[in-house]
Amino acid sequence: DVKVTQSSRYLVKRTGEKVFLECVQDMDHENMFWYRQDPGLGLRLIYFSYDVKMKEKGDIPEGYSVSREKKERFSLILESASTNQTSMYLCASTGTGGMGTEAFFGQGTRLTVV
């Protein structure tokens, strides 16, 4: 019953590489999010999108970009990976319920930059 799927569970990349993290949801949700999870820092929002081709910066967008060409797919791009981007990345999606709706998360991608 998987609803949000991230393309990789584990990734190891070299410093300076361009990295793509993919997320697909099958719930026809309008909103999609990329979070970064680090111990003691919780879930920090990198970017989110509320419609196809629309994107908004979150709290820590530096060093990242995103792409949403189709409603069901939201990609996170690390233009030039650095070691401080080693982290767990979580994708999530929500619908547009009037008074708040549940966020569904992907299984996470643990990225290591060496």
Partner 1 sequence: GENVEQHPSTLSVQEGDSAVIKCTYSDSASNYFPWYKQELGKRPQLIIDIRSNVGEKKDQRIAVTLNKTAKHFSLHITETQPEDSAVYFCAASLTGTASKLTFGTGTRLQVTL
Print the binding letters for residues 45-64 with partner 1: x by CB under 8 A, - otherwise.
x--x-x-----x-xx-----
Residue with Cβ nearer partner 1 (9 or 18): 9
- Dihedral in degrees, nearest 10, Cα atoms 22, 28, 32, 35: -60
The residues, ordered by sequence, that sit 6+ positions from 3 with a Cβ below 8 Å of its Cβ are 25, 26, 27, 93, 104
Asked if residue 40 binds partner 1 (CB under 8 A), the reply is yes
Least CB distance from residue 81 to partner 1, whole Å? 23
Asked if residue 25 binds partner 1 (CB under 8 A), the reply is no
DSSP state for residue 26 in the 8-state scheme: S
Asked if residue 1 binds partner 1 (CB under 8 A), the reply is no
